[in-house]
Amino acid sequence: MENLLALERAAEQNVQFLLKDTSKPIANLIPALNEYRSAWLTTVLADHASISEKKEGKLWQMHTEAKRYFHKALSEARRNAQQSPVALREVTKLYLRFIKDSERFYREYIFALNHTFGGIHELEAVALKVKADGAGESSQPAVSSEQRKIALDSCHRTLIYIGDLLRYRGSEKLDKTPDFGPAIGFYDLACTLRPTSGLGHHQRAVIALEQKHHLRAIYHLYRAIVVDEPHPNAANNLKLEFEKTSAAWGELVHKGPPGDPDASKNNLVGWFVRFHSMCFQGKPFRGHDDLEREVLGQMATVIKQRELDGTLVRMLMINMAAQVFATDRFTSMYWSLNS
Q: Could you tell me if residue 260 is inside a domain?
A: no
pLDDT of res. 249: 73
Q: Could you tell me if residue 251 is inside a domain?
A: no
Q: Could you tell me if residue 178 is inside a domain?
A: yes
Distance CA 138, CA 121 (A): 10
Q: Could you tell me if residue 134 is inside a domain?
A: yes
- The amino acid occupying position 212 is K
pLDDT of res. 331: 79
pLDDT of res. 141: 55
Owning domain of residue 96: 1-194
Packing angle of the helix pair 145-171, 85-116 (nearest 10 deg): 170
pLDDT of res. 248: 78
pLDDT of res. 215: 94
Q: Could you tell me if residue 262 is inside a domain?
A: no
Q: How many domains does the chain have?
A: 1
pLDDT of res. 205: 98
pLDDT of res. 142: 66
Residues of the chain where predicted confidence (pLDDT) is lower than 50: 134-136, 138
The torsion angles phi and psi of 222, rounded to 5 degrees, stand at -65, -40
Q: Could you tell me if residue 152 is inside a domain?
A: yes
pLDDT of res. 89: 94
Q: Please report, for the domain that includes residue 117, its CATH number.
A: 1.25.40
Q: Could you tell me if residue 210 is inside a domain?
A: no
pLDDT of res. 72: 95
- The closest of 63, 161, 144 to 106, measured between CA atoms, is 161
276-277-280 Cα angle (round to 5): 80
DSSP state of 144: -
Q: Could you tell me if residue 239 is inside a domain?
A: no
> What does the DSSP assignment read for 61-119?
HHHHHHHHHHHHHHHHHHHTTTT-HHHHHHHHHHHHHHHHHHHHHHHHHHHHHHHHSTT
